[in-house]
Structure 1
């Protein structure tokens, strides 16, 4: 199945914010039962606002017959990024050196239940990366999500775990994953 993928920049956020928030609530809270302050829509909206305020933030949304089915978004890691600050495992400083052009962070990727298992997440992911210029992409994934199945999907997409981190006191401990933006 193929969806209509549309690209957005920070200036477009007012147009797509409600779609993103609605999908977040539907998937994270209703489908997966993720509750607590970290997953509240208000906290998610605060993170969305913070991410989109950074230079180079972009997003894609997928639509099926006009219905929003999923999204992903992220931004380049600046030279002064805090992305690597909350590592719980030691990582070679060569890996964590950023210049604003080396690494893009995939902050979120979410697909609604009726469209899962149809390669929609992959389509959104690759469409988003096709418009990025960085050499590599990083993301955080809860290793317990889907009893490890979510992390296994990222591994199948070429990501490799480089360590663990807990970016917020009330967030889960995430696996930090990294891969080249373009697969060889």
Structure 2
């Protein structure tokens, strides 16, 4: 099954912000029961605003019959990024040096329950990456999500673990994963 995928840039965020927030609440709160300050919609909206204010932010939203079914978004890592600063074990400098063209972060990818298990997340992921010019993509995943199933999905998509980090004092410890933007 495929969905209609629309691409967005930061200037378009007012058009899709509420859809993203509504999907976040539906999936994170209702489906997965993720509660607490870190997962509250206000905190998520703050992170969304912060991410979208950075150069290179883009998003995709998937639609079926006009209904939003999921989204993903991310941004380029600039030369002054703090992305790699919260690693529990430091990585080599040659791995963490950024210049706004080397690495893009996949900050969020979320699909509503009725559309899960139908390759929609993969479709959104690949549609989003198709418009990226960076060499590599990185993401954070909670290794406990789905008892490791979510991380295994990313591994099947070509990501490999490079360490762990806790980016916010009240966030979980995440696995940091990396892969090439364009797969062979």
Which TM-score tier does this pair reach, normalised by the shorter chain?
over 0.9
State the match for 1:42 in structure 2.
42
- Pairwise CA RMSD of aligned residues? 0.4
The Cα of 1:42 is off from its aligned counterpart by 0.1
Asked if 1:167 is matched to 2:152, the reply is: no
The Cα of 1:90 is off from its aligned counterpart by 2.6
State the match for 1:125 in structure 2.
125
Asked if 1:177 is matched to 2:177, the reply is: yes
State the match for 1:137 in structure 2.
137
For 2:143 and 2:23, how far apart are their aligned partners in 1?
Answer: 21
In the TM superposition, what are the counterparts of 1:83-98 in structure 2 within 5 Å? Answer: 83-98=83-98
In the TM superposition, what are the counterparts of 1:1-184 in structure 2 within 5 Å? Answer: 1-184=1-184
**Which TM-score applies when normalising by structure 2?**
0.99
The Cα of 1:91 is off from its aligned counterpart by 1.3
For 2:94 and 2:148, how far apart are their aligned partners in 1?
Answer: 28
Q: Which runs of 5+ in 1 are unaligned?
A: none
For 1:160 and 1:170, how far apart are their aligned partners in 2?
Answer: 25
User: Secondary structure, in 3 states, of the residue corresponding to 1:84?
Assistant: helix
User: Secondary structure, in 3 states, of the residue corresponding to 1:177?
Assistant: strand
The Cα of 1:89 is off from its aligned counterpart by 1.7
Q: Which runs of 5+ in 2 are unaligned?
A: none
CA offsets per residue over residues 74-113 of structure 1, 9 Å max, x none?
A: 0000000010010002312111110110000000000000
Size of the alignment, in residue pairs? 184
CA offsets per residue over residues 99-153 of structure 1, 9 Å max, x none?
A: 1100000000000000000000000000000000000000000000000000000
